[in-house]
Amino acid sequence: MTDNTLLNDLQGRGLIAQHSGDIDTLAEHLQPPRTLYCGFDPTADSLHIGHLVPLLMLKRFQLAGHRPVALIGGATGMIGDPSFKATERSLNTAETVDRWIQSISHQLSHFINTDKTNNAALIANNGDWMAGMDIMSFLRDIGKHFSVNAMINKESVRQRIERPDQGISFTEFSYSLLQSYDFTELNRRYDCTLQIGGNDQWGNITAGIDLTRRLNQQSVFGITLPLITKADGTKFGKTESGAIWLDPHKTSPYGFYQFWLNTADADVYRFLRYYTFLSLKEIQQIEQDDQQRAQKPEAQRILAEQMTRLVHGDCALEQAQRISSALFSGQVEDLNQAEFQQLEQDGLPCCEVSLPMTLTDLLVSSDLASSRRQAREFIAAGAVQLNGVTATDADQAITQAVALHQRFVLLRRGKKQFTLACLNQS
């Protein structure tokens, strides 16, 4: 074991998948303050929970006294990282990427402290140095240090090279050079000596370490974080409706809270270690308590609370919990009008509907069913609840009399899908 508190904690959490060099050298190097970075390519208008582990890792380093740099891939995002991607991706326009850079940099600043402390975080953009680079400098000064022989042997591009039905363009193949140069440039500008990233970034990170040694004569380090897996083998971070975003307009705090609440028992203690700032000791205690109780575990609730508070704040957490308890307790008729309106504001999926309309129509217009046929099937299967009561008649007319407070119809399809339909008064 090393005598570095931060590294010990990270190892205990299982947050270190690979690291360059030997652990003692790394531990010795990591005496604060050091500068480290992690890259985030703009591939959408928001970060999602897949980005959260490295982002929180930056925060862990900052809390330990180091200076984090969140690097936005303004340049690399224009290219597309081929690492472990099965197929070539289509390019996004510069305007689109620019828009995404804006929203992502805004999000990043919520997680790492950029206030003027002595280890204030920086948010940088590799477009700043890549945009001005000319092709000759790129090929002569950077490209010369890379061996194509070595590049094609990397595991990260193997399937693109070996699979008979797939290829890789020069554009994507060059990605690794750009990311490598980022490390060198950040080392030059900010004395950055550590890059962290997902385990799929290992190849890119080691390439950056090599390039920095050659161009700057500096020895720098890399740490990769584990790929987040689920015990049942399905992909983490995706639900039927897509990725779990950090942007509350794309994934509501309620949906975010529910996502974590639904974590499988087999994953939940691991996720507490990966994602929360609870100490290892506290997490161990939670696990012990759950085992002794031998009932429904508390860990999911704690995880959901921690994460929703961390990403969306106390107020949003409260709202998410309020919706959750109202919906899953089944006591909807007890809610008063103001509380219904609150649910609407808190991010429960809602729809406005105009009468007259049957229950079947209502399910379709509320998006709980994709077609009338499907709506009928749900009703026939007993999967639909109307204000907490199982519905049986597909042709039931929706009227103000059915609605609570003459206006609200809470629909439930299956166990977890809720939509609040608000009747139009017209």
Partner RNA sequence: GGUGGGGUUCCCGAGUGGCCAAAGGGAUCAGACUGUAAAUCUGACGCGCGAGCUUCGGUGGUUCGAAUCCACCCCCCACCA
Q: Which residues bind RNA (CB under 7 A)?
A: 88, 164-169, 232, 234, 239-240, 258, 261-266, 296-297, 300, 324, 328, 364, 370-374, 376-378, 381-383, 413-417
13, 19, 34, 51: the active-site residue:
51
DSSP classification of residue 140: I
Specify whether 376 is catalytic. no
Catalytic site residue from 9, 45, 59, 89: 89
- The one catalytic residue among 48, 66, 270, 312: 48
Concerning whether 43 is annotated as a catalytic residue, the answer is yes
Asked about 296 being catalytic, the answer comes back as: no
CB atoms under 10 Å from CB of 194, counted, come to 26
Question: Is position 51 annotated as part of the catalytic site?
Answer: yes
CB of 261 to RNA, least distance (A): 5
Smaller CB separation from RNA, 144 or 163: 163
Closest CA to 362 of 313, 415, 321, 403: 403
Kindly state the smallest distance separating residue 115's Cβ from RNA, in Å: 36
Residue 85 annotated as catalytic: yes
Catalytic residue among 31, 102, 117, 239: 239
Residue given tokens 């582990």 in the structure block = 53
* Three-class DSSP category at 232: coil
Do residues 68 and 36 touch, judged by C-beta distance below 8 A?
A: yes
Question: Cα–Cα–Cα angle for 267, 271, 274, nearest 5°?
Answer: 145
Residue 163: CB minimum distance to RNA, A: 8
Question: Is 154 known to be catalytic?
Answer: no
Q: How many CA atoms lie within 13 A of 227 on its CB side?
A: 12
Beta carbon nearer to RNA, 72 or 368: 368
Tokens of 236: 């983490």
Give the Cα separation of 39 and 60 in Å (integer).
16
Question: Quick one: 187 or 252, whose CB is closer to RNA?
Answer: 252
List the beta bridge partners of residue 124.
Answer: 71
**Residue 140 vs 373, nearer CB to RNA:** 373
Q: Please indicate whether residue 200 is annotated as part of the active site.
A: yes
Instruction: Give 241 or 425: the residue with its C-beta nearer to RNA.
Output: 241
Tokens of 152: 């094609």
In which element (H, E) is residue 131 found?
Answer: none
DSSP 139: I
**Residues noted as catalytic:** 43, 48, 51, 85, 89, 179, 200, 235, 238-239
